[in-house]
Structure 1
Amino acid sequence: MATRAMLRGYLLEEALAWLLRHSGYRLLVNAEQDPEELVSDGGNLRVRGRGAVHQVDVLGEFAFTPAFSLPVRLFLEAKYYRTPCRLEVVRNAHGVIHDVNENFMNRPGSRPRRRYQYSYALFSANGFTSDAQEYALAHQISLIDLSGESFTWLLEAIKEAAQDLYTAQVQHHVTSFPVSWMRAELRQRLDTGPLDLLPVVNTGAPGFRAAAKSRLADFVASLTTHHESELLLGFPAAPFVLPLAASDAQQFMNYADTHPDHVVRLRRTGQNGDAEWTVSPREPGGGYLLTFKLPEQIEDWISDNAEKERQRTMQIKSEFLAGITVYRMVGAGVRSYQLRYEPSELRR
């Protein structure tokens, strides 16, 4: 039987796949998309490693290969615990990435095959413990904290849907929750396919299936009510990814398409783990606003000395946030945008 925390995590992963639908990644859902690297096991997708085959719930492939790099694939894992995500989860992520990135051996007589660089992004509804953050920064595992106000609507919708699914599971005596079936249902409704390659997964207990379908439809409706919302991935010169929440993505696109390389204003409000940042064009009339959170470890360093807080804020801006690259799918192509912070912009 699936716990409420497990159900919240599954729903969060699928919601994130939808929010990231234009971020430059295409979703991999079936081994037919890459028979040499991927394995389909019932409704589950697995990735071959050097020493094991690893299950993956959400796997994206970046549509654009950066210069002097391998094609990039991204593991996306989400945890919706009531407490901060602990070290063991991050350590497991590192073990998976280390194994799959070593799965490339030349055998005598074997033909050359394509190689990928796998990365890992771990999202948490309630942040991460300090040792988890230290480990992740050391091993370049991207930790993304969703506890800010920008994601309150999303987390509340997930919490409600997970409770209803858990209740339906109990009422209909379902001992093994059909996770693969639920993922396929959500991907069909949210169009995060590719739909022609989604596994066909059936589940028993027709009463449960009807109740779950109804609740999933309500959940999808709550997401699409925020259809203008989007999560853009920002890539700074730092060992982490910035989750740029756009309450109205079209406003960003209207400005960025005209100004693909532009100077931005960065503002920070709050302290420690409650601090949030905003990005907006420095020139007046830009109209868009993006919000993000930095790793809590960095925020703690900024805030632990009141006399140096302003100086440290400016230091983070100049050293880590001076250039943020955003990629976005437009039709079948990928566009890149450069958001530049200039040190002369001396505002907090």
Structure 2
Amino acid sequence: MNASKLKGSLLEYAVRRILLNCGFTKVRPDGLLIFDNGGLTMINGKGAAHDADVLMNPPIQMPFSYPYRLNFECKAYNKKVGLTIIRNALGLRYDINEFEIVTRRHLRERQNDRRSPLAIDNRQRFNYQVGVASVEDFTKPAFEFAANNKIPLISLRWFLPANICDSFHQITPAYLQRFTEQQLNDLHQFLKGNDNENATEFLRETESIFRNIYNSIIEFENRVLIGLLESGDLLFLISDNNNNDVEYLRNRNTIMTARFHYRRRTLDYWTLSVNQEVEFGFYLPSRIIEMWREQSFDSQAAISLKAELFSRVFVFVRNGELPFRILRIDRRWLNEINRNE
């Protein structure tokens, strides 16, 4: 077992746990279009079969469209992710979405205008979105390319403690020599989504970098929900109040009001107040930061952004009859601060 494989599996585990906690479900291989290969989940494309690091179904689907699936490519590099990786993600999205099964029999059937069966393979089709997840942040060109091509990005630096992110890069070949090959193999299987009692005991009982990262992931997932703006931008809503604020949203089925605030010293980190009772923090999506930067971070421009982009937030929850809660911006409050400006 090599260090890079374990680091990548740890990152995949973190992303998968966060999505599962917010109501996403794992895609099950069908044995043909999506299949298992030596512990890897492979998805067929036009040119080849690709390793799908984290392949999930969203909690809700859009009508009048093929169902959506989300695949995150996970990169546990010790440097910022650059433009090449994001371009590769765009190419992967094209390759798996444009894939179609066309056999010689299907081609011959097209020559017969009176044929009864359609000359296409009878299968369920999906729209695949491909994102990139990283331990480190992304370069500016990578951010810009991702925004222009609607590629979602996740960096653990955005929500896990700095020392936990740093510890990923302390998983080296020399460090792995402290453990047996069986321990590392069991851990790898567990991180890939397979039940393994030995790995569970290892993470619970053995002092290690793996246990520290694992505990941080579990602690974080109890404080985070994923919000979706009508523009398609994702928000990671983080509570500082253990999981009490998360439970507050989960236990309400009504539409709630939201107010958004920022501080001049941290313009990219905003807070969201729900019904003026609970509060979440979140980092502005890079695309919205760029829009605001173009207007010199003007306060009036911030009000306009709130009105245009944050009028409604769909927050995914794991339990309840509805898979999401709707937060509508408090219009009375928004009009009042607009008058004050």
Alignment partner, residue 328 of structure 2: 340
- Give how far 1:24 is off: 2.1
Alignment partner, residue 296 of structure 1: 286
- Give how far 1:179 is off: 8.6
Structure 1 CA distance for aligned equivalents of residues 179 and 243 of structure 2:
41
Change (3 A) 1:221 1:300: closer
Alignment partner, residue 49 of structure 2: 53
Q: Residue by residue, what CA displacement relative to the aligned partner does 1:188-216 show, whole Å, maximum 9, x if unpaired? A: xxxxx4x5xx6x9x9xxxxxxx8999434
The unaligned stretches of length 5 or more in structure 1 are 188-192, 203-209
TM-score, scaled to structure 1: 0.76
Alignment partner, residue 38 of structure 2: 42
The answer (yes or no) to whether the contact 1:85–1:132 under 8 Å persists in 2 is yes
Matched position secondary structure for 2:57: strand
Residue number among 251, 257, 266 corresponding to 1:257 in the alignment: 251
The unaligned stretches of length 5 or more in structure 2 are 110-116
Alignment partner, residue 23 of structure 2: 24
The answer (yes or no) to whether the contact 1:64–1:71 under 8 Å persists in 2 is no
Alignment partner, residue 67 of structure 1: 63
Aligned letter for 1:184? Q
Change (3 A) 1:27 1:165: farther
Matched position secondary structure for 2:257: strand
- Give how far 1:322 is off: 1.4
Structure 2 CA distance for aligned equivalents of residues 37 and 298 of structure 1:
36
Residue number among 116, 128, 144 corresponding to 1:118 in the alignment: 128
Change (3 A) 1:86 1:212: farther
* Greater shift in the superposed pair: 314-323 or 84-93: 314-323
Change (3 A) 1:63 1:300: closer
Aligned letter for 1:338? I
- What is the RMSD computed on CA atoms of the aligned residues? 3.7
Change (3 A) 1:180 1:263: farther
Identical columns (%): 23
Alignment partner, residue 91 of structure 1: 87
In the alignment, structure 1 residue 167 sits paired with structure 2 residue 174? yes
Aligned letter for 1:27? K
Structure 1 CA distance for aligned equivalents of residues 6 and 263 of structure 2:
32
Aligned letter for 1:237? E
In the alignment, structure 1 residue 131 sits paired with structure 2 residue 144? no
- Give how far 1:164 is off: 4.6
- Equivalent positions of 1:302-317 (< 5 A) are 302-303=292-293, 306=296, 309-317=298-306
- Give how far 1:222 is off: 4.2
Residue number among 140, 148, 152 corresponding to 1:142 in the alignment: 152
- Give how far 1:324 is off: 1.2
In the alignment, structure 1 residue 322 sits paired with structure 2 residue 311? yes
Structure 2 CA distance for aligned equivalents of residues 119 and 49 of structure 1:
13
The answer (yes or no) to whether the contact 1:143–1:295 under 8 Å persists in 2 is no
Structure 2 CA distance for aligned equivalents of residues 17 and 48 of structure 1:
21
Alignment partner, residue 156 of structure 1: 163
- Give how far 1:185 is off: 1.8
Aligned letter for 2:307? S
The answer (yes or no) to whether the contact 1:24–1:334 under 8 Å persists in 2 is no
Change (3 A) 1:137 1:271: farther
Q: Max radius of gyration: which structure?
A: 2
In the alignment, structure 1 residue 10 sits paired with structure 2 residue 9? yes
The answer (yes or no) to whether the contact 1:322–1:340 under 8 Å persists in 2 is yes
Q: How many residues align?
A: 317
Change (3 A) 1:184 1:237: same
Q: Residue by residue, what CA displacement relative to the aligned partner does 1:97-142 show, whole Å, maximum 9, x if unpaired? A: 1111112346455652111111123233443222212221222111
Q: Residue by residue, what CA displacement relative to the aligned partner does 1:227-283 show, whole Å, maximum 9, x if unpaired? A: 6323x22111224322222343442332453353111011123568x62111111x3
Alignment partner, residue 230 of structure 2: 237
The answer (yes or no) to whether the contact 1:50–1:103 under 8 Å persists in 2 is yes
Matched position secondary structure for 1:316: helix
The answer (yes or no) to whether the contact 1:145–1:293 under 8 Å persists in 2 is no
